[in-house]
Amino acid sequence: MFTLNNQLEMKKITVSSLISCIYLPSIVTVISYKGLLYTVGNGSSFYILVLIFVAEILKAFYLSESNNEAQQKRSKPGKSRASDIVKSFIFLLCVMFCFFVGIILFGAPVLESHEETLMLSALLTLLTVFPLIAHAGVETSMQLLFGVKSYTKDSIFEMLVNNSILTVCGAWLGAVVIPLDWNTPWQQWPIPCYLGALGGYLLSNATNCRRTCLGTCRLRVAATSRSVLRRRTRLYSDIYVSQNRFRVLARETELPATSV
């Protein structure tokens, strides 16, 4: 789905995906152990959302804090921080409302169980748009969402967008089990969709992890070849030639230009 540009991004992606892969299953395990799994649609399960919120915001801090200095310089300090927060809050509310309306148009009950639908839309917002905003701010994420800006350059964005798409797909697929006549408690609205969204998010993060691990192997191979090259270059007296050759080799071993 995406290519890894450098080790730093890769590390961030791995760590944040790993965090998601750990904290989400733990939450689900704990609540199912407590026997609260079938209450996820109620307002009483708000704490799950809070937990996810905290985790996501921590992840977002982690993703953006070690960004290179250029971005830190660009972001304006102080005053605009508060307005940013307000803006993103309003944007999040709008997105949540859109989800709410969309879910109802998709077939959720119109006149009742608003609470459940609201919880589901809040969860979807938290898992899809919120990480994007926390990472990139409102404008960029809007541009990303509407496909104005392409995100092929930045693998973190790519990961976030992939996460969102899979989350929505998970919620969408979760609805499949609702009409079955098994009469199980977890077929209640919105539990299948809620769990489906969590599952989709988890799946996305798991694939991220797997991909980055494979990527690590590839990078490690690249790194060894690089050190071999360095040793060889010392043998050449003409540095210029060796550098040229290095570049050619680097291209051959698919090393990204930035890491050279």
Partner 1 sequence: MLSTLQHRWTGFYLLLMALAALSLFLYGYFPIKYHTGQISRRNHLPTSINGVPIDGQQVYNPGETSVILMVIDGLRYDFVTEEYMPFTGQLLKNKSACVYVSVAEPPTVTMPRIKSPERKVEKAQWRRTINFWRDIFAMMTGSISTFADVALNFGAPAVTGDSVLRVAQSRKKKSVMYGDDTWLRLFPGMWAESDGTTSFYVTDYTEVDNNVTRHLDKVLTPDEKNKPTFDFLVFHYLGLDHIGHLEGARSPKIKPKLIEMDEVVKKIYKEMSKWDRTGVLFVCGDHGMRDAGGHGGASSSEVLVPLVVAKTNDYLCPYDNGRGPYVAQVDLAPSIAWLLDSPIPGDSTGRVLPSLLPRDTLQQLYLLHYVAAHNARAVALQLGQTPKEKEFYKQYERAQAQFAHYLTTKQESAAKIAKEFYEQALTEMSKYLTESTVEFDMFAIVSALVVLYAVTVALVCVTLYSLQTEERRRHSVTRHLHRRTQAGALVAFVIVLCVALFTLTVACAISESKSNLCSYDPNWIPVFIAIAAGLTFTFFLIKTAIENDFDLNVLKDLNAIDYLLIGGTVFHAWSFLGTSFIEEEHMTWYFFWNTLMFFVLIRTVVVVVMYLSKKLLGATEVQEKPHLEERMSAGISIMPKWVALIALHRYLRTMNQTGDRWLFLPDTADWLNAPENSDYLQAHVIVGTLLTAVICLRNVKFTNNSMYLQSLLTILSTICIFCYRLASKSVDPTATFIDIQSWDTVDIVNVFWALLIIQTMLEISSFIGLLKPFTGKAGHPNFEPVNNKQFVYIKPKAKTEDYVYGTDDDEPFNCSEVKMNLACSLTHLMYNHMMLIIILLMRPHNVIMVPSIYVTCQLTSECLDHKLLDSRPGRKTEALDVLSRTLAHIWIGYVFFFYQGNSNSLASVDLSAGYVGLRDYCAARVALRMGLHAHAAPAHAGAALLAAAARGRHYTSVSLGSAGCGGLRDYCAARVALRMGLHAHAAAARGRHYQRYLKSLWQISNILALQRVYQVCVYAAIATAFRHHLFVWTVFSPKLLYDFVATVFTAQALFTIVNIILVTNWTNVVAKAVATKSRL
Considering the rule CB under 8 A, would residue 97 count as an interface residue with partner 1? no
Kindly tell me which of 83 and 183 has the beta carbon lying closer to partner 1.
183
Please identify which residue in 104, 203, 206, 222 interacts with partner 1, judged by CB under 8 A. Answer: 104
In which region does residue 59 sit, left (phi positive, over 0), alpha (psi from -120 to 50) or beta (all else)?
alpha
DSSP sequence for 93-106:
HHHHHHHHHHHHHH
**Alpha-carbon distance 254 to 57, whole Å?**
34
Please identify which residue in 147, 231, 240, 252 interacts with partner 1, judged by CB under 8 A. Answer: 147
Question: Are the C-beta atoms of residues 189 and 41 closer than 8 Å to each other?
Answer: yes
Considering the rule CB under 8 A, would residue 106 count as an interface residue with partner 1? yes
Q: Tell me the one-letter amino acid at 260.
A: V
Considering the rule CB under 8 A, would residue 181 count as an interface residue with partner 1? yes
The candidate with the shortest Cα–Cα distance to 48, out of 127, 108, 106, 112, is: 127
Considering the rule CB under 8 A, would residue 110 count as an interface residue with partner 1? yes
Nearest distance in Å: CB 36, partner 1: 25
Q: What contacts 192, CB < 8 A, 6 or more positions away? A: 174, 175, 176, 177, 178, 186
Considering the rule CB under 8 A, would residue 1 count as an interface residue with partner 1? no
Tell me the window of 42-50, 85-93, 104-112, 217-225 that interacts with partner 1 (CB under 8 A): 104-112
Kindly tell me which of 128 and 212 has the beta carbon lying closer to partner 1.
128
Cα 144 to its chain centre, rounded Å, is: 14
Kindly tell me which of 38 and 172 has the beta carbon lying closer to partner 1.
172
Considering the rule CB under 8 A, would residue 172 count as an interface residue with partner 1? yes
Considering the rule CB under 8 A, would residue 143 count as an interface residue with partner 1? yes
Q: What contacts 160, CB < 8 A, 6 or more positions away? A: 131, 132, 135
Nearest distance in Å: CB 111, partner 1: 9
Q: What residue ranges bind partner 1 (CB under 8 A)?
A: 102, 104-107, 110, 143, 146-148, 172, 175-176, 178-182
